[in-house]
Amino acid sequence: MSRQAKTYSTPEEYLALERQAESKSEYYDGEIFAMTGASEEHNLITVNVASEFRTQLKKRNCQTYANDMRVKVPATGLYTYPDVIVVCGAAQFEDEHLDTLLNPILLVEVLSKSTARYDRSGKFSDYRPISSFAEYLLVAQDEHRVEHYARQPDARWLLTEYRSLEDVVQLVSIECSLSLKEIYDKVELS
C-alpha cells in the first residue's frame, strides 16, 4: 500500500472518490492509500482460495468475495480490500451502494514483502473489533506457509501455522477445510 498526496479526507469524501476511481485505495484516519498491483502468485493463490470456499459453501447461506469487496471496520474507521472474504447469513452493508461490507466472518490476506508486516499487526489489530470476525488466514506467496488465527471463546486468538503441502487448515467458523495443496495449486514459488 503506498501513500497518495498527504491530504486529509472524510470517510464520505473517500467513498465518493473511490466509487468513481479506476483503481482501488484504502482509507484510514483521514488518509487515502493507493493499492498496488498484485503478482501472478498472489492472484493464483487468491483465486484458489476463493474457489475452494465457493465450492464448499455452494449450498449454504454463505458468500465468498474476492479482491473487490470493500470492508469497513466501524471501530477504527478503516476501509480496506481483503483478498478473500466470507460472510455467513445476511451480508450487512454500510449503505445502499452495497459495496462496503460490515460483517465478515473470515478474512484472507495474501502476503507480499510490502504488506506482510501491516497485514500481521496493524490490519489484524483493526479487524479484531468486528464482532462477526472469527478467523483470519495469512497466506505467504514466496513459500508454503499459512498462518491461521482463530478467535477463542474467551476472545483470545489462537495461531496455528501450516508449512507442508499435506497440511489441511480446518476453518471451524465456516465448517470448511482448505488444503495447502489446493492453495498453492499451479503456483510456482520463486
Compare 29 and 144 and report the one with higher pLDDT.
Answer: 144
Kind and range of the H or E run holding 111: strand 106-111
The label of the residue with cell 490476506 reads 109
Same domain as 94, residue 2: no
Domain extent at residue 17: 1-36
Number of domains comprising the chain: 2
Q: What is the pLDDT of residues 33-66, one digit of tens each?
A: 888 778 899 999 999 999 999 999 999 999 999 9
Same domain as 134, residue 84: yes
71 contacts 104 by C-beta, under 8 angstroms: yes
Same domain as 60, residue 27: no
Check residue 186 and give left, alpha or beta (phi > 0: left; psi -120 to 50: alpha). left
Q: Return the SS3 of 131.
A: coil
Average the pLDDT over 124-145 and give the result. 96
Torsion of CA 18, 106, 114, 66, to 10 degrees: -50
**Nearest Cα residue to 183 out of 46, 55, 63:** 46
CATH number of the domain bearing residue 96: 3.90.1570.10
Answer yes or no: is 188 within a domain: no
Q: What pLDDT band is residue 6 in, cutting at 50, 70 and 90? A: low
